[in-house]
Each structure stands twice: as structure tokens, then as C-alpha cells.
């Protein structure tokens, strides 16, 4: 029983926070170089290797009114709930096929669907459609044609009185991705974390004896004396 306790005690690694901080401090230049390297790498990948993409946004408002009567609170509530159904129709196969045919796009409906994102703000009946593509002009054309095709599909399927345009598709002037500055900052932080983790793990795993304190910790006995290094003494004498 005693032997087992001794073994468990010997296997325990004691971590000194001050030593870890000192280890990071003496390796600060290596950590800084790692941050610069990963930052430059992230900037190069983002600005040179990743293809810029542009996002065009359009939005429409669905008006469900019957018999020309004034809209009631119940009508608005039901209309808001149905907006989620309208959003699903944006990516429906008939709509996607219609857009591909009208614009003569060389892509499949599944590929076109991946370019589209739909947003419906809560408590509103406004559908926001975003199209992200490599060509800003083509992104705008797809978004505009998609808005028209969706409006026709909603009127036909849901028996809606009208689908009004809130905002025509915009022509993006700046790429929406990649975000070079953000990616560069992430690269710098990643370099710092990885380099710091490396030096911390190396310090924790290092069980070599370097100082008199290490000897006392390893043996559990007080150190009575030390023998000076003869080579160090010879060098010191030669300097005199």
C-alpha cells in the first residue's frame, strides 16, 4: 500500500506558474516570429489563393389581402407565419430552373441553391434574398431574376394577391469574402497560441535536472553541497 502511494506521488507533475511565465518570456522572440509567420501565411492565402466572392441583396414584401378589405391583426399574424413558407419557395426547384433558363446559366439547380441564402426577420413579412458569386454583375442578375421568379411562384402556389419589391438587387462593389483583415488577425492569434502551447508543453514535459532545486525536488532531500565545473574554473583562470 505504501509503495503504491509513493509511486502515485512520484508520477505527479508539479506545475509552477512562475516557471511557465518565465519560459514564455525567454522564448518571446520565437513566439513573435511564429505570430508574424502565421499572420503572413493567412494574409497570403486570403488575398492570393482564395477567390473573391461578391454578395448581392434584394428583398420583397408579400401582401396577403382578400376582397380588398382592411388588414386585421389576425391577418398580419397569419401572414408573418406564412413568410417562412415563402422563404422555402425561394429555393424550390421550379424557381431555380426558371432562373437558370432565363439567364442561360451553366450550373445545376443544386449549384445555384448553394449560392442563395434567405433571411426572414422575425415579426415581419419581408423576405431578404442574398446571392453570393464570383462575378458581382452576375450575382446581381441572379438575385434580380430570382426575386421575380419567386414572386411569380408565391402568387401561383400560395394564392397571394401581390408580391412587392422592397429593394432591387444591389451591385456589390467590394467582395464579401474572403475577409483578409479578419483572417490575418486569426492567423496571428493562432500562431501565438500554438507557439505558446509548444513552449509550455515542452517545459512541463522536461524532467531533466538543471539546478540544485531540481535535485532537491527529485530526491526529496536537502542539498549539502555542489562541485564546481572544472572547465568553467579553467576558463575563468585563463581570462585572468
Check residue 5 and give its pLDDT. Answer: 39
Query: What is the rounded CA–CA span in Å between residue 170 and residue 192?
Result: 40
Check residue 189 and give its pLDDT. Answer: 96
pLDDT band at 89 (very low <50, low <70, confident <90, very high): confident
Is the CA virtual torsion 233, 235, 238, 240 positive or negative?
negative
- Please tell me the least confidently modeled range out of 23-27, 42-46, 78-82, 170-174: 78-82
How many CB atoms are located within 10 Å of the residue 56 CB? 25
Assess whether pLDDT exceeds 60 at residue 3.
no
Assess whether pLDDT exceeds 50 at residue 9.
no
* Mean pLDDT score of the chain: 79
Average pLDDT in the 187-196 region?
94
Query: What is the rounded CA–CA span in Å between residue 193 and residue 53?
Result: 30
Assess whether pLDDT exceeds 60 at residue 71.
no
Between 134 and 230, where is the model more confident?
134
Check residue 82 and give its pLDDT. Answer: 65
Classify 210 as helix, strand or coil: coil
136-158 and 73-90 helices, crossing angle to 10°: 130
In terms of Cα–Cα distance, which of 125, 114, 128, 121 is closest to 53? Answer: 114
Assess whether pLDDT exceeds 90 at residue 131.
yes
Ordered domains of the chain (ranges, CATH)? 14-48+183-222 (no CATH), 54-167 (3.30.70.1130)
Check residue 19 and give its pLDDT. Answer: 80
Check residue 8 and give its pLDDT. Answer: 43
pLDDT band at 81 (very low <50, low <70, confident <90, very high): low
Assess whether pLDDT exceeds 50 at residue 96.
yes
Average pLDDT in the 94-119 region?
92
Assess whether pLDDT exceeds 80 at residue 191.
yes
Assess whether pLDDT exceeds 90 at residue 146.
yes
Assess whether pLDDT exceeds 80 at residue 49.
yes
Classify 116 as helix, strand or coil: strand
pLDDT more than 70, % of the chain: 70
pLDDT band at 86 (very low <50, low <70, confident <90, very high): confident
Assess whether pLDDT exceeds 50 at residue 4.
no
CA 19: distance to chain centroid? 34
pLDDT band at 227 (very low <50, low <70, confident <90, very high): low
Assess whether pLDDT exceeds 50 at residue 59.
yes
Amino acid at each position: 500500500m505504501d509503495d503504491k502511494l509513493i509511486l502515485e506521488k512520484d508520477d505527479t507533475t508539479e506545475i509552477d506558474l512562475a516557471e511557465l511565465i518565465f519560459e514564455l518570456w525567454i522564448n518571446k522572440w520565437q513566439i513573435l516570429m511564429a505570430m508574424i509567420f502565421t499572420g503572413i501565411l493567412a494574409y497570403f492565402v486570403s488575398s492570393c489563393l482564395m477567390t473573391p466572392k461578391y454578395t448581392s441583396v434584394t428583398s420583397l414584401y408579400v401582401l396577403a389581402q382578400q376582397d380588398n378589405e382592411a388588414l386585421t391583426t389576425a391577418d398580419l399574424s397569419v401572414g408573418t407565419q406564412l413568410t417562412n413558407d415563402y422563404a422555402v419557395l425561394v429555393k424550390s426547384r421550379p424557381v431555380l430552373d426558371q432562373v437558370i433558363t432565363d439567364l442561360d446559366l451553366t450550373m445545376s439547380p443544386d449549384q445555384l441553391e448553394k449560392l442563395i441564402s434567405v433571411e426572414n426577420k422575425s415579426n415581419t413579412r419581408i423576405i431578404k434574398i442574398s446571392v453570393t458569386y464570383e462575378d458581382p454583375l452576375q450575382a446581381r442578375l441572379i438575385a434580380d431574376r430570382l426575386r421575380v421568379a419567386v414572386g411569380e411562384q408565391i402568387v401561383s402556389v400560395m394564392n397571394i394577391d401581390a408580391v412587392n419589391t422592397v429593394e432591387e438587387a444591389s451591385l456589390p462593389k467590394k467582395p464579401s469574402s474572403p475577409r483578409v483583415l479578419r483572417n490575418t488577425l486569426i492567423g496571428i492569434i493562432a500562431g501565438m497560441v500554438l507557439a505558446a502551447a509548444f513552449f509550455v508543453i515542452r517545459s512541463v514535459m522536461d524532467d531533466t535536472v538543471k539546478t540544485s532545486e531540481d535535485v532537491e525536488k527529485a530526491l526529496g532531500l536537502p542539498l549539502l553541497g555542489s562541485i564546481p565545473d572544472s572547465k568553467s574554473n579553467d576558463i575563468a583562470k585563463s581570462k585572468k
